[in-house]
Structure 1
Amino acid sequence: MFGTDVLPGLAPGLLVSDETGWAPATTLTDGTRLPELLDSAVRLWGGTPHASAAVAWKAYSYWAALPVVLGWAAARRVPLLDHTAALVHFADRGTLVTLGLRESIPVAVLPSDPLALAGLPQVQVVADERELLTALRATLLDAHLAPMIAAIQGKVRIGARTLLGSVASGIAHGLLRAADGWPGSVVEAIDTLLDALDLTDLVELVPGPNGEPTVQRRTCCLAFTLPTPKVCQGCCIRSA
């Protein structure tokens, strides 16, 4: 959908056939390898512990959500990316973390999808659009991102609203960047997903310079506090 199979935070092709060198994201949610993620952020950007954690989270949650939300938007096929189905490694020193999907990851589809009749063990057929969004939330947010937020809060003092704001912003930005990849309104898609995840109050879509929708955050990712300050597009501080 982005015109390439090489994205800095995702494994090429998404699926990891050889898990050597990879670790399940459970090692982040249980705190075992979370220091590696936070240390990676300090190495790349510096900053205070809580600012580095916030920026690390912004990057991680973007890459984790991207395959899920684009699968839903483009094809109504949702990889059920809980923390057991996601894999991570820190071998690429030029990026914060690389995420991949286990080959066995379940995928939720609608009854009308050809995959529903394929008889594949990893395909889970749900009744309707509402159940598809429920499955998306239960795996991506409740069983992956929320436990990671709790683990991060066990290391640094940072509010859940700040971290969830980055999830909402990442979802909106990801859909806007790939908006030509599926039929229908990207604004409606963003609204539907954020409503399903209870994140609608954390971002707002506003007209850009040419009237195109852009993302306005209502929380700050703290990137402006880094040694080399960054003011993101749609920063709530810049708009204040």
Structure 2
Amino acid sequence: MLTEALQRLADGRGGVIGVEPGLVIEPDETWTPVRELLREPYTLLDGLIDETAGRWNAPRHVGAALFWKTFGYWHTLPMALGWALDGRVPIMRPGDTYFKPSDAGVTIAATRVRWDSGAGAIGEALAESQEPLVKAISARAKVGERTLWGSTAEAFAHPLTAIVPGDYMKLLEEIGRPVDGLVEPTDDGYFRRTCCLWITLPDVDPCGSCCVLRPRHRPQATASSSGLSSSA
């Protein structure tokens, strides 16, 4: 069911999708093991951060945040959709996962996929596959981990509002930290509680989910704060 949904998504986007619809590949020389991103002295990871920053004429920490927004989205999307469709969650272990540059930014796939179920399995996958990258990117580019995890949280919310309906707030709550509490629902969508930093680029419009667009909730006035008293 999931692979069919991914293929429909790819067809609807003219083939521009950041995950192989079939999930599993036999990698050729165009694919790079994801573990290479964590190989010291982090030459590959630094290069991708710098390339992203250069593409948008952005400071390095902004380039790092935007690189992760893309990479984290496509790594998270299959787990979000699988959970919503039939509860079967594809787990791409770090040693089995590959990526390559593409028109979607990156495309991700694996040499094998383990199928699991439930938010607990997703949380374990985030800890194993995403947390080391989040920590490395944060340290290399001086961008906050909470900012980066906000993009992962949105990578659950977006597909479950735009592709397959699903209770993303329930899922995020069940996963727990570090993604719970980083998005909030609205009548027709959601807002982030952290910024992906796109808005810091010159002459761009904010994302529809941008935290700068969130309505500011003012505390309800009390008798004393409004200048009224019980004897008035």
Q: Same fold per TM (> 0.5)?
A: yes
- Paired residue type of 1:99: I
Alignment partners' CA distance in 1, 2:195 and 2:128: 24
* Structure 2 counterpart of 1:203, from 183, 206, 209: 183
Q: CA deviation at 1:9?
A: 1.5
Who is 1:46 aligned against? 57
Q: What is the RMSD of the two structures over their aligned residues, measured on CA atoms? A: 2.0
Alignment partners' CA distance in 1, 2:27 and 2:67: 26
Who is 1:24 aligned against? 33
- Give the 3 Å change call, closer, same or farther, for CA 20–157 of structure 1 in structure 2: same
Alignment partners' CA distance in 2, 1:219 and 1:49: 18
Unmatched tracts of structure 2, length 5 or more: 217-232
Alignment partners' CA distance in 2, 1:44 and 1:15: 30
For residues 144-197 of structure 1, the C-alpha deviation after alignment (integer angstroms, 9 at most, x for no partner) is 1110011102211111111111111121001111225xxxxx23xx12320133
Who is 2:105 aligned against? 96
For residues 39-89 of structure 1, the C-alpha deviation after alignment (integer angstroms, 9 at most, x for no partner) is 331243221100111111111111000111111211221111232232111
Q: Taking structure 1 as the reference length, what is the TM-score of the superposition?
A: 0.76
* Structure 1 counterpart of 2:92, from 70, 77, 81: 81
Alignment of structure 1 residues 98-137 onto 2, 5 Å: 98-102=107-111, 104-108=112-116, 132-137=118-123
Alignment partners' CA distance in 1, 2:164 and 2:116: 22
Alignment partners' CA distance in 1, 2:203 and 2:17: 21
- Give the 3 Å change call, closer, same or farther, for CA 43–70 of structure 1 in structure 2: same
The count of residues paired between Structure 1 and Structure 2 equals: 202
Who is 1:211 aligned against? none
Alignment of structure 1 residues 48-67 onto 2, 5 Å: 48-67=59-78
Unmatched tracts of structure 1, length 5 or more: 110-131, 181-185, 209-213
Checking the alignment, whether the CA contact within 8 Å between 1:44 and 1:96 is kept in structure 2 is: no
Checking the alignment, whether the CA contact within 8 Å between 1:37 and 1:97 is kept in structure 2 is: no
Q: CA deviation at 1:13?
A: 2.8
Who is 1:216 aligned against? 191
Largest Rg, 1 or 2: 2
Who is 1:227 aligned against? 202
- Give the 3 Å change call, closer, same or farther, for CA 149–204 of structure 1 in structure 2: same
- Paired residue type of 1:64: H
- Give the 3 Å change call, closer, same or farther, for CA 87–201 of structure 1 in structure 2: same
Alignment partners' CA distance in 2, 1:95 and 1:45: 15
Q: Which one has more relative contact order, counting CA pairs under 8 Å at least 6 apart?
A: 1
Q: CA deviation at 1:216?
A: 0.8
